[in-house]
Amino acid sequence: MRLKNIAVMVSGGGTNLQALIDAIKKGEINAKICCVISSKAGVYSLERARNNDIPSIVIEKKEFLSEQDYDTKLLNTLSEFNADFIVLAGFLSILSKKVVSQYKNKILNIHPSLIPSFCGKGHYGIKVHEAALAYGAKVTGATVHFVDEGMDTGPIVFQEATEVLPGDTPEILQQRVMKIEHRLLPKAVSLLVDDMLYVDGRNVVIKNSL
Ligand code: GRF
């Protein structure tokens, strides 16, 4: 059987992309990254792809006349690289119903909070941590979830919490949460590519623990 292909979609620095690259190198994920798709030009994720001989492409929504044209480009790219799975690793755009339905239960996203807190519209990047601090949350964390048609609404695979400590700034909190992200995402991706995740409604079950 051929090695499964993962398309990683990014918009920024790509520390989560790096965590996936490192996990693959260590043999912790039984798959290869077939391409990195960035929603923005010039981001450091593209450099990481280059440094690791991973093909990359920039697909910016604003360059397309319609959502349909954008989707066509995205889906053609995914099929050109034979992508079996998609991982959104700091990807700041929303995938359309069309893309999501073609990759049903095959797309994972990492979000830097305990969903359903501090997620959805406007909650991305440092803003998530600003919101957690402004709310006075005592715990926050990271969530890996399947992507459905909504924003941060798909079935949850893993969550891990960390305390919000006195003196935390959004940046300090972000760093602490990112350490969790870099562990949780490769773990979830490894199970996904090995076909070990079973989605039962909102519930994600790890197959060998059935
Ligand atoms: C991460 O916190 C991720 O959860 C969020 O955006 C950030 C991206 O970081 N969606 P990086 O590009 O992986 O370094």
Q: Tell me the pLDDT tens digit for each residue of 59-95.
A: 999 999 999 999 999 999 999 999 999 999 999 999 9
Whose C-alpha lies nearest to ligand 1, atom 10? 90
Report in angstroms the alpha-carbon separations of 53 from 15, 35, 36, 92.
17, 10, 11, 24
Q: Residue 108 forms beta bridges with which residues?
A: 87, 146
Q: Indicate which atom in ligand 1 lies nearest the CA of residue 109.
A: 10
Which strand (E) or helix (H) includes residue 188? helix 170-193
What's the mean pLDDT when you consider all of the chain? 97
DSSP state of 96: P
pLDDT digits (tens, 9 = 90+) for 166-190: 999 999 999 999 999 999 999 999 9
Task: Return the percentage of the chain with pLDDT > 70, whole number.
Answer: 99
Query: What are 104's two structure tokens?
Result: 């049903």
Distance CA 39, CA 43 (A): 9
pLDDT digits (tens, 9 = 90+) for 29-66: 999 999 999 999 999 999 999 999 999 999 999 999 99
Q: Indicate which atom in ligand 1 lies nearest the CA of residue 181.
A: 4
Q: Evaluate whether 160 touches 145 at the Cβ level (below 8 Å).
A: no
Whose C-alpha lies nearest to ligand 1, atom 2? 112
Distance CA 56, CA 74 (A): 13
Q: Is the CB of 36 under 6 A from ligand 1?
A: no
Residue 131 clears pLDDT 70, i.e. is over it: yes
Please say if 129 is a catalytic residue: no
Q: Is the CB of 111 under 6 A from ligand 1?
A: yes
Number of other CB atoms surrounding residue 126 within 10 Å: 13
Q: Indicate which atom in ligand 1 lies nearest the CA of residue 15.
A: 14
Number of other CB atoms surrounding residue 109 within 10 Å: 25
Distance CA 145, CA 58 (A): 24
**Per-residue pLDDT at 208:** 79
Q: Evaluate whether 97 touches 205 at the Cβ level (below 8 Å).
A: no
**Per-residue pLDDT at 85:** 98
**Per-residue pLDDT at 110:** 98
**Per-residue pLDDT at 1:** 81
Query: What are 136's two structure tokens?
Result: 């006075």
* Spatial strand order in the sheet of 107-111: 56-58, 31-38, 4-10, 85-88, 107-111, 139-146, 156-163, 203-206, 197-200
DSSP state of 198: E
Cα of 1 from ligand 1 centre, angstroms: 32
Residue 210 clears pLDDT 70, i.e. is over it: no
**Per-residue pLDDT at 209:** 56
Residue from 9, 36, 110, 147 whose mutation best tests the ligand 1 pocket (most atoms within 8 A of CB): 110
Whole-structure pTM value:
0.96
Give mean pLDDT, residues 126-146: 98
Angle of CA points 52, 58, 62, to nearest 5°: 160
Q: Evaluate whether 191 touches 22 at the Cβ level (below 8 Å).
A: no
